[in-house]
Structure 1
Amino acid sequence: MNRRPDGSGRRPAWPRPLLPAAVALVLILALTGTEAQAHAVTQGDKGYIQEITGVHLMPFVYLGAKHMMTGYDHILFLFGVIFFLYRPRHIGLYVSLFALGHSTTMLLGVLFDTNVSSYLIDAIIGLSVVYKALDNLGAYRRWFGVQPDTRAATLVFGLFHGLGLATKIREYELSPDGLIPNLLAFNVGVEIGQLLALATILIAMGYWRRTASFRRHAYTANVAMMSAGFLLIGHQLTGWAVAT
């Protein structure tokens, strides 16, 4: 039985996929995606931000936390990253790499007014979900005989997730007065939201891992996550094609 490349635990023996459960989860994610875009800027939030100037730290902390907690693409990726991580130091390392990546490009993307298609960036974010699900399934070893560096991949995809955040922040049309303090506050809020989402996932995973169903359904969960990633990619590429 193969160990994870970082030594954080053993892979379960994969059963045959439980297709009904996978289809149900994918449909739930698909319906969620049609009702609300990941990290969408609500009209109320956008109107408030456009009306204020100067430094407003707490509102931006709140908006950053809300942005992350409602971003199902980020949450799916985090779910995949920690799926087979058991030791706190491994979880801390991977979450820190992800945070470093998305914090860097989020701040730079807004400050330098990066003009990148939000559809294409969000499609890459969907690809990150697919990538991580395939990694959890051990696909790269079976297909190519190699195991990609999971730490480097987490950092690189974190950079793209940060660009996705930057494209959404630019929709707020922030005032240049107090821009940097407000951006830093927003980033603090994003990290708070990420910690809250991570804590929720870890609590749920902790209960699940203590049951016999974890081994039975781990394969199914990652297949469903991969399918959701493909849905996100298709949705964003369709939006890009229509917009252009």
Structure 2
Amino acid sequence: MYETLEILRDGGVATVWMNRPEVHNAFNAQLIADLTAAFRALDADDGVRVVVLAGRGKSFSAGADLNWMKAAGAASVVDNLADARKLAGMLRVIAEMTKPTIARVHGAALGGGMGLASACDICVAGDKAVFATSEVRFGIIPSAISPYVLRAIGERQAYRYFQTAERISAARAVELGLAHELAEGDALDAKVAEIVGALLQGGPKSQAAAKALIRAVANRPVADAVVEDTARRIAELRATPEAREGLDAFLGKRPAGWVPGG
């Protein structure tokens, strides 16, 4: 269905493989369009529980295709803005999925590739993975990816890495909060599978609500409006069929209905 992607399904898990290995899965207009359409379709598919984003070849994603960037630089301001909006929109579609998302990062995750890793809920990095916000070295800025990278590493660290464009090792990425786990050697897929297994134990609607909760509460002071909002959210969820099933399953010492094989 997609020119630049390969999507594999295994039960409720969909793995989206970026498939431009000859250019290290660099972004161009087609890859941006394909990722946008694929993540929208997977979010709407009730059979999908978890989405893993990965890259074929030697790299996760080396960021923007330089030929595409050069063409954009030569285009009119109107056309340039349209392209930038498509990139920003794609990242937002991934970041705001209702379902859990995992970035499986190996090799390079540079510029927009680091943005993809940050836009996903969870990032698992192989020990040879390397990240960077490399844009200033091309005379531009990490603009479209900035909301997600800032969310991952914080404002203070962004002041350094947005300006220096230094390479960030997998171990340093874990220290910064960019990556949740570092997988040694050939253990990357096993670590991803471990986290997928944990995610499949949770209720789909409660996971979607948990993501919405984070967006609603993060970086807001604990004021009356926030306290009231959190009370309302849990009260509404406790009355749902999913919550009743979860409690019944726990008390009955059985897997909940949403657990594979349960």
What TM-score results when the alignment is normalised by the length of structure 2? Answer: 0.27
Relative contact order, higher structure (CA 8 A, sep 6+): 1
What TM-score results when the alignment is normalised by the length of structure 1? Answer: 0.29
Higher strand proportion, which one?
A: 2
Highest Rg: 1 or 2? 2
